[in-house]
Structure 1
Amino acid sequence: MTIYTHIRRSVTRHSNAILAILILISVIYVYSRPSRYITTPSPRPQDDDSNMDMGQKLSEKNVEGNKCVESQRISNAIPGESIHHVTDTGTMTPVQLVKHMQTLKRHGIRTEYEEIINEMPSGSFSYSRNSINMYKNRYSNIFCLDDTRVKLKTSHDDLTSDYIHANYVDGFMQKNAFIAAQGPLPNTVNDFWRMVWQENVFVIVMTTRTEERGLIKCSQYWPKTLQDSLKFGDIIVTNIKVDKKKDYIVTSLLLKDTKVGWCRQVAHFQFTGWPDFGVPESAKSVLQFHSEIRQYQKEAVAFMGSNWTGPEGGPPILVHCSAGIGRTGTLCAIDITLARLEVTQKLNIYDTVRKMRTQRAFTVQTLDQYEFIHFAVIESLQKQGKLATIDWSNYRL
């Protein structure tokens, strides 16, 4: 036997032994490693929603993460007056609104809407357009006004780190009644939940599905399955109740700030019956959806009692769709108009939308949405018995 053959056989024997040891170590490692946390890859900083499970996923049927203490909610609200006043001019009664629409017909309402959209925003978009923040924008042509943007609290010196694509929008006689936001991206989900906690949000309203016509409209930023949990930065979000209705889903979410161990409950209202293009044929389900949102907000404020230190109407209701201007703006405009009607018995949809666009640029994105606001308000009044049946046969002529 040559020296070469002896060495080769010796190496082979040792190699087989080493390989067996390595396989044994690998098996022991795989079966002994803890399985409680499954970490998902960090999302790429761009408009890519392919990774729909955005947070660190905690074990299913997780209950241990629910042990925490309900925290006080100290308002961040800055005193001020809403842009929607009792004394606004140009208001009309519901009967006058119907006559106005029947006189103008649809082509006249179109002209009215075109006047609104031809009025360019007067504010600046410097933070949205900053190259450092561009990857946080879902759409490259929809920007966030500087004056009313929500600023995330941060310890960093770089002011761009406080950016999120969201604006405060006034309600009727309530400053900052809403936060109008884009649907979260994979790289902005943690910021989204930071904003929810920072702004003391009771209600999140989502007016889109996560996917429509094969396109991702919004990241799946909350756990859909009962008792499942996801971790976003310092916030653990647990699904504690799901109530499915015909056109929308109400999910109760428990948030836990892992830094301090405090908990908060948030209601997530997702309207699933709004078509990707156009508007619902009837406003019935939208009005029911809106009514339930308002009722929950009212009850949440009452339940908090002295633990809520802010305005009587509560903290901002967070509303988003995909871009945060179309369906989002439509729902907010309906809310503002109905609230004005309740107090003054008058309304001014044209002026309401114009003013909203000074706080959230490009709000109410299409003629159909603008028109839908009118018909939704009229349908609400008819349901209350305040308007009779109306003949619309000549409206589209």
Structure 2
Amino acid sequence: MNDNLLSLFLSSQGYWVFFVVEGNGPLSSIYKSLQVIDFYLSFILPCHPIFGTDVSVIPKSETTKNKILIILNKVTDIGDRRQSVSRQPSFTLSEWTDAQEDLLDLDPVPQTPVFDMGSETRTEGDAVTLTVTPVGLQERRGSNVSLTLDMCTPGCTEPYGYGAQLSPRDQSAQEYLRQGTHILTPAMLHIRAMDDQSLQAEFYETPMNFVDPKEYNYPGLVRKNRYKTILPNTHSRVILKSLGEDDFLTTYINANYLKGYGGEEGAYIATQGPTVNTVGDFWRMVWQERSPIIVMITNLEEKNEKCAEYWPEDTVTHEGIEITVISVTQEDDYSLRVFTLKCGGEERSLRQYWYTSWPDQKTPDKAPPLLELVQEVERAREEAPPSSGPTIVHCSAGIGRTGCFIATSILCKQLRTEGVVDILRTTCQLRLDRGGMIQTCEQYQFVHHVLSLYEKQLSHAAEE
């Protein structure tokens, strides 16, 4: 009997090693080994199973070898189910598509959107423009299917994609962003806009330049960020003025200054959609920066909260700033609110364009409404007082739809002024100032489509 028990003990060590090699954790392997020992003990001692393996379910006519195989399969199956549950992330969702993906399916093929360009609508039979080449997960930095949503931790309801894992250019990402360029003439632009594979390759080659969360290791900061891994790049972040000394939290807001056309400093501010905790900070920034325009490109809720309703129906006061709604105008694709801001005896006017025709987690179905909004904001900017500051643009995270709008605005000016566009250069410059701008490949394609349409409008107007 003692010899048998010694043999079981020694063999259990082998089973433990076997289960560890199979990918099980140490504790799980011990549990499975004990179950196997329990099975053997049933032949030696007249006792019931201790560790949950019921040998009575095995027919008496089967051989001992078959019994062992059945037990091993049963144990492995139980362990695998337990392990599969532990492997699942909190949530794995697509940020820019409606369909939820399988929790363990980490490498689906991205879908290419079809844009309604009026006379330029793609046909279903155009294999060249509709073909998409599967791309590995690690290569699809920032794509709509490479984003992990972790809702277990406060301050995070949005994904921080694999965008932080740069391409093989890891060690020269900053250099790439400073030097990246691809000038397109009108003819080249029209061809490029329909070349999905080339645009994918260019997008995935461009570093995202996300901020390492370790750079913002400050207690309490999680309450200031809508998404814990979408953070402002340090060199260009907006710093709120504060009377308190060395109080980082009172000076912090998740926002960055962005250069405009021709390298114009501080032409835009890209920021996250305000949260309930940061509405006061948002209005402090609006007043401090003397911003004449806010462009909002998100709904208040899209499956979950994307932005707090930071404006009043009539009048409200935040941080000593009195905000009063003067008028509300509803257009086809956006609403315009005109506010009066008062603080310290000074009064200013502010316009908010709330663009509502950008579908949740997609690119717009039509380009003209976005172009019209870009042009309307440009006209309003020209009418603003000379002392006005940056135009504030936000969506939810402040990088995807925000990046598309700002890039389109800059590139429309470049096309009118120079007759060419450099979408890659503009994207690189935006990402230098705020990581992740133009968040997905589909958005990058959409910017090309919008500029292609705008060039055709310019050409048509010149002919008339």
Asked if Structure 1 and Structure 2 have the same fold, meaning a TM-score greater than 0.5 normalized by the shorter chain, the answer is yes
Cα RMSD, aligned residues only:
2.5
Corresponding residue number in structure 1 for 2:323: 237
The separation in 1 between residues aligned to 2:418 and 2:193, in whole angstroms, is: 20
Q: 1:120 to 1:253 in 2, by over 3 A?
A: closer
The separation in 2 between residues aligned to 1:208 and 1:376, in whole angstroms, is: 19
Give 1:386 deviation, angstroms: 5.0
Encode CA deviations 1:131-153: one digit per residue, 9 max, x unaligned.
Answer: 33221000012111100000001
Structure label with greater radius of gyration: 2
SS of residue in 2 equivalent to 1:208: coil
Q: 1:376 to 1:129 in 2, by over 3 A?
A: farther
Alignment of 1:1-397 (within 5 A): 90-102=182-194, 105-116=195-206, 119=207, 121=209, 128-160=216-248, 161-173=250-262, 174-213=264-303, 215-223=304-312, 225=313, 228-257=314-343, 260-301=344-385, 308=387, 314-386=388-460
The separation in 2 between residues aligned to 1:375 and 1:202, in whole angstroms, is: 29
Gaps of 5+ in 1: 1-45, 50-83, 309-313, 389-397
Instruction: Judging by fraction of residues, say which structure has more helix.
Output: 2
Conserved? CA contact 1:122–1:358, under 8 Å: no
The separation in 1 between residues aligned to 2:339 and 2:357, in whole angstroms, is: 22
SS of residue in 1 equivalent to 2:437: coil
Encode CA deviations 1:270-313: one digit per residue, 9 max, x unaligned.
Answer: 00110012111111111111111110110113xx5xxx2xxxxx
Encode CA deviations 1:111-146: one digit per residue, 9 max, x unaligned.
Answer: 111111xx2528766664433322100001211110
Give 1:332 deviation, angstroms: 0.5
Q: 1:379 to 1:166 in 2, by over 3 A?
A: same
Instruction: Judging by fraction of residues, say which structure has more strand.
Output: 1
The separation in 2 between residues aligned to 1:122 and 1:322, in whole angstroms, is: 16
SS of residue in 1 equivalent to 2:284: helix
Q: 1:48 to 1:124 in 2, by over 3 A?
A: closer
Conserved? CA contact 1:127–1:133, under 8 Å: no
Gaps of 5+ in 2: 1-153, 158-176
SS of residue in 1 equivalent to 2:352: strand
Conserved? CA contact 2:210–2:436, under 8 Å: no
The separation in 2 between residues aligned to 1:384 and 1:204, in whole angstroms, is: 27
Give 1:263 deviation, angstroms: 1.1
Conserved? CA contact 1:236–1:255, under 8 Å: yes
Give 1:334 deviation, angstroms: 0.5
SS of residue in 2 equivalent to 1:176: coil
Give 1:240 deviation, angstroms: 0.4
The separation in 1 between residues aligned to 2:187 and 2:461, in whole angstroms, is: 8
TM-score (norm 2): 0.59
Higher RCO (CA 8 Å, separation ≥ 6 residues): 1
Q: Which amino acid aligns with 2:372?
A: Q
State the identity %.
34
Matched pairs, number = 288
The separation in 2 between residues aligned to 1:201 and 1:125, in whole angstroms, is: 28
The separation in 2 between residues aligned to 1:164 and 1:125, in whole angstroms, is: 15
Q: 1:163 to 1:332 in 2, by over 3 A?
A: same
Give 1:362 deviation, angstroms: 0.8
TM-score (norm 1): 0.68
Conserved? CA contact 1:208–1:274, under 8 Å: yes
